[in-house]
Amino acid sequence: MDRERGTYSVQSVLKAFDLLEVLATEDSVVTIPLLANKLDLSRNKMFRLLATLEDKGLVERDEATGTFRLGIYAFEMAQHILNSASLIRLAHPVLEELARKHDEAVYITVMNNDEVLFLDMVDSFQQIKTTAMVGRRFPFFTNAAGKAIKAMSSTDMIERLGKRRSRLNGIPDVKKLETELRDIRQSGVAVDFGGLGEGVCAVAVAIKDYAGKVVGALTMLAPSFRMLQERLELEIIPSMQESAEILSMKFGYAKIPA
């Protein structure tokens, strides 16, 4: 009996990990039938497994649609792991330098399931500053960080985005987003005002690794009244691009001369 219980427990844990992996990688709408099919479980067993993970905060259920996604606690766990990983370790000194140079908050951000996760930051010493975003996540299309990562991820990303229009719920104007992403890809920088809150300006530049894959974005957040066009063009954007290039080189990225 003990051996059977032990075997069952191990299998349950393995299925739980498999479930979290599917939620972390699946782009489509995630429902109980889809998960049950992918993991070869009955719908009843899948429901119980989801309920258990939901109780622990590892899974969240959208009450309106009945779909599932990773819970905030899963991201909090990931953040603890990433604190000792190379991305945070290599990025933090660059964040420090940028934040001290411009006295504005600077973050390292990554993409997860079409959402931007704010991993690490160095804050400014300003009396008026933006709300701290570490650990928070937002749909990619609402902010500069998400748009920078999406725009620079691959040459055919924008075309694939158009094909996925029916699944991109919440985007007010897909055609406008496609145009914006093309402009960001050409300029190499994303800037938005109000995407992360009223009166907030965000500037983001993608970071690439040795294979040319986008691993995240350097993102600066500041009150809009301090981010005047002249300061953006002459000071902030060139500095952000230079820092992103330095960080990309730390990951082994070598820019090919035009």
Same domain, 29 and 91: no
Same domain, 48 and 81: no
pTM: 0.63
Same domain, 91 and 105: yes
Q: In CATH, what number is assigned to the domain containing residue 34?
A: 1.10.10.10
Quote the pLDDT of residue 5.
41
Same domain, 164 and 48: no
Residue numbers of the domain that contains 89? 75-250
Same domain, 114 and 233: yes
Same domain, 55 and 92: no
Quote the pLDDT of residue 237.
95
pLDDT in tens, the chain (258 residues): 344 444 444 677 778 888 888 887 766 678 888 888 888 888 888 888 888 888 888 888 888 888 888 887 777 666 555 544 667 788 889 999 999 999 999 999 988 778 898 888 889 888 888 888 888 888 888 899 999 999 998 655 555 655 555 445 567 777 888 888 999 999 999 999 998 889 999 999 999 988 888 889 999 999 999 999 999 999 999 999 999 999 998 888 876 655
Is residue 257 situated within a structural domain? no
Same domain, 90 and 147: yes
Residue type, 220: M
Tally the domains of the chain: 2
Quote the pLDDT of residue 178.
86
Quote the pLDDT of residue 8.
42
DSSP structure class, residue 233 = I
What is the CB-side half-sphere exposure of residue 92 using CA atoms within 13 A? 9
Same domain, 213 and 183: yes
Residue 173 CB neighbour total at 10 angstroms: 10
What is the CB-side half-sphere exposure of residue 89 using CA atoms within 13 A? 7
Quote the pLDDT of residue 193.
94
Task: Identify which of 110, 113, 114, 62 has the alpha carbon closest to the alpha carbon of residue 88.
Answer: 110
Is residue 140 situated within a structural domain? yes
Backbone angles phi, psi at 164, to 5 degrees: -95, 15
Is residue 256 situated within a structural domain? no
Burial tier of 145 (Cβ tally within 10 Å: 0-12, 13-18, 19+)? buried
Task: Identify which of 115, 101, 91 has the alpha carbon closest to the alpha carbon of residue 168.
Answer: 115
Q: Are 181 and 174 in contact (CB under 8 A)?
A: no
Q: Which residues contact 149 (CB under 8 A, 6 or more apart)?
A: 109, 110, 111, 116, 140, 204, 206, 214, 216, 217
Same domain, 66 and 186: no
Same domain, 119 and 218: yes
Is residue 96 situated within a structural domain? yes
Same domain, 65 and 183: no
Q: In CATH, what number is assigned to the domain containing residue 241?
A: 3.30.450.40
Quote the pLDDT of residue 161.
58
